[in-house]
Amino acid sequence: MIEIKNLQANVNTDEGPIEILKGISLSIQPGEVHAIMGPNGSGKSTLSYVLAGREDYGVTGGSVSMNGEDLLALEPEERAAAGLFLAFQYPVEIPGVNMSTFLKTSINSIRKQRGEDELDALSLLKLMKTKCKELGISDDMMKRAVNVGFSGGEKKRNEVLQMALLEPKFCVLDETDSGLDIDALKIVADGVNALRDPKRSFLIITHYQRLLDYIKPDVVHVLAGGKIVKTGGPELAQELEKQGYAEIIEAVA
């Protein structure tokens, strides 16, 4: 189970720290998909960075635990090994490093941290091929430099591929729908749905309801001003789409 309790966090800027998250609490059971929706500037991306442990994002209060383990006490790479996966809103380009090298390094770093044997080149290759096939990704992608020259759709599919390979316990998707046309969105959503598992929790961060037509959430939270202002079932997303954020936020204020 993922338990976030009264999480407060700052972002360090050149002008000093700015308080963004002002006490967020939610718990996600294994197998559940939660969505966080909110207007721009509500703290959605900050939440994903704080969970993943990015530099310059300082936790000032509260706690986050994953299956009882204190996530905030871990380094970012240790959180990944513990089973946290962040699908990036803007996947980063790494020139000169091809996908197969990157994935090999990632998978084996995680296995090493978990005290498992590293996989040899052949097993890795097989694993990548299988996953690519399952997700309908051409294995040509393995020879290309990480995200360099990838289309928007390819970048997001690459995130899903990595998610499939690393088999996380807790997946955070940060605005995965941004920059995707409807066909690409469907493909990505299918990939995510295929990874839904009774042992795995999802937190889907999105601005629009559109993605939630394809990935059905169990619980929807509305984030505004660094706080969760409303929680409900999937119908809340529909409501938001109809009424807009302003009305709902005002109603609870």
Partner 1 sequence: MAATEETIAKVKDMAGKYEAGFVTDIESDKAPKGLSEDIVRFISAKKKEPEWMLERRLKAFAHWQRMKEPKWAKLEFPEIDYQDAYYYSAPKSAGDGPKSLDDVDPKLLETYTKLGIPLREQEILAGVTNRTPVAVDAVFDSVSVATTFKDELKRHGVIFCSISEAVREHPELVKKYMSSVVPYSDNKHACLNNAVFTDGSFVYIPPGVRCPMELSTYFRINELNTGQFERTLIIADKGSYVSYLEGCTAPMRDERQLHAAVVELIALDDAEIKYSTVQNWYPGDIDTGAGGIYNFVTKRGLCEGRNSKISWTQVETGSAITWKYPSCILKGDNSSGEFYSVAITNGRQQADTGTKMIHLGKNTRSRIISKGISAGRSDNTYRGMVKIMPGADGARNFTACDSLLIGDQCGAHTVPYIESRNRTAKLEHEATTSKISEDQLFYCLQRGIGEEEAIALIVNGFAREVMQHLPMEFAVEAQKLVGISLEGSVG
53: helix, strand or coil: coil
List the interface residues with partner 1, window 41-70 (CB under 8 A). Answer: 52-56
Q: How far is the CB of 68 from partner 1 (least distance, A)?
A: 20
Q: List the beta strands (DSSP E) in the chain.
A: 2-13, 16-28, 33-37, 57-66, 69-70, 84-87, 94-98, 145-146, 170-174, 201-206, 219-224, 227-232
Q: Is 197 in the site for partner 1 (CB under 8 A)?
A: no
The smaller minimum CB distance to partner 1, of residues 54 and 133, is found at 54
* Binder of partner 1 out of 62, 76, 153, 225 (CB under 8 A): 76
Rounded-to-integer distance, Cα 251 and Cα 244, Å: 12
Largest CA distance in the chain: 58
* Binder of partner 1 out of 68, 95, 149, 198 (CB under 8 A): 95
Rounded-to-integer distance, Cα 142 and Cα 134, Å: 15
Amino acid at 28: I
* Binder of partner 1 out of 96, 115, 149, 198 (CB under 8 A): 96
* Cross-strand partners of 61: 8
Rounded-to-integer distance, Cα 109 and Cα 86, Å: 16
Q: How far is the CB of 187 from partner 1 (least distance, A)?
A: 22
Amino acid at 221: H
Q: Is 74 in the site for partner 1 (CB under 8 A)?
A: no
* Binder of partner 1 out of 69, 77, 118, 134 (CB under 8 A): 77
Considering only the stretches 101-109, 132-140, 177-185, 240-248, report the one whose residues sit in contact with partner 1 under the rule CB under 8 A.
101-109
52: helix, strand or coil: helix
Q: Is 113 in the site for partner 1 (CB under 8 A)?
A: yes
Residue 67, sorted as left (phi over 0), alpha (psi -120 to 50) or beta, turns out to be left
The 172-191 site mask, x for binding partner 1 (CB under 8 A), equals --------------------
Q: Which residues bind partner 1 (CB under 8 A)?
A: 12, 52-56, 75-77, 79-81, 85-86, 88, 90-97, 101-102, 105-106, 109-110, 113, 145, 162, 166
